[in-house]
Amino acid sequence: MEITIKSKGVDTPLRQEELTGNDGQTELFQEKQVRIQHEQMGCITDTQLTTGNFFMAHCKFQLTQSIQLIKEVEEDIIQLDFALRGESKALTGGKTTSQAFSTGQHNIAYIPPSKSVYDYYASPEQLDYSVVVIPKETYFRLLPPDSDLHRHLVARINQQKPAYISAKNLPITAAMDWIIRDMRASPRTGSLKRLFLESRITELLMLQLEQMQGAQPVVLLSKKADIHKIHEAREVLDSSYPNTPTIVELAKLVGLNEFNLKRGFKEQIGTTILGYITQRRMEDARHFLLEGEKTISEISYWVGYKNPAHFTVAFKKYFGILPSAMRSHPGCDLS
């Protein structure tokens, strides 16, 4: 199955990939980066990762004017869409289904063999998107067609009509954001990276479906201007980590009162500000423990704890296991 993506007005294809989706395939992991610098439109950087069963792209745009990307697919695909930063609109399945995305939103789409158009809007900020493409056969090996988790989507697949699982996009949670960041930063290579990415993509799909299964009708309490500030607050937490500001300081930095910041953060990110910071600390700590290059005391300071004993208590509460046990038994189940 071939996927081709071109930018209107640019001769160089942004993506041209082939996925198999077949059992028994042992394709090596492939990674490449395509960079298009256009005098009028700006710059597009696309990091592409192919495992044979999955295709993943991390695309960043620095646009001086809005652009259209045209995607052609030859077979049925399931697409996981993550708009990390920026505004866009997708016209999928021969322009029959329209879905607008804003910063911090995700969804799951079925796209039949067709030509789709994606509009990305000019912005002084860098736009940032991640997309995972799964062949239909691979998707149904992960999740049987009779599962209640995607009944509406399967009905549309049987009709070969494009659709999104959720009528409205849902907020990217802290757990999803961490997985995407982890996949982007992984130093692994070759078959190890292929296995790592496939396990992470499966986990990402699980988190999306889990959120959609329990989702109530989406009623956003935050104003659009506030939503932008809430995602700015998350960026402040990421850039200042591990020395993150207090909630009072963070509210002043992004120009929101504390109540709207806390309510909006939970609404948009799916967790509290403290929960977001704690998850980042604990996941980083686990990474360092498994890496084995730092002592537990060094790790506690590295992730923002002044007292190693406080770190040990927090780690045990989060994972249900002591840091020392994690290091001694790296294969233990932390679910």
Give domain 224-328's CATH superfamily.
Homeodomain-like (1.10.10.60)
What stretch(es) of the chain map to CATH 2.60.120.10?
A: 2-214
- Provide the whole-model pTM: 0.74
> Could you read off the pLDDT of 253-272 as tens digits, one per residue?
999 999 889 988 988 887 89
CATH 1.10.10.60 in the chain, residue ranges: 224-328
By percentage, how much of the chain surpasses pLDDT 70? 85
E-assigned strands of the chain? 2-7, 15-18, 30-38, 42-50, 55-63, 67-73, 77-85, 88-92, 97-101, 105-111, 114-120, 127-135, 163-164, 170-171
Q: What is the topology classification, in CATH, of domain 2-214?
A: Jelly Rolls (2.60.120)
Q: How far apart are CA 30 and CA 32, in angstroms?
A: 7
Q: Is the pLDDT of residue 46 over 60?
A: yes
Residue-wise pLDDT tens digits, 65-114: 888 888 888 889 999 999 998 888 887 765 667 788 988 999 999 999 98
pLDDT per residue as tens digits for the range 142-181: 999 998 888 888 999 999 999 999 988 998 988 898 899 8
Residues 199 and 51 sit within 8 Å (Cβ to Cβ): no
Q: What is the pLDDT of residue 198?
A: 93
Counts for the chain of helices (H) and strands (E), in that order: 11, 14
Lowest mean pLDDT among 5-9, 219-223, 225-229: 219-223
Q: What is the pLDDT of residue 24?
A: 43
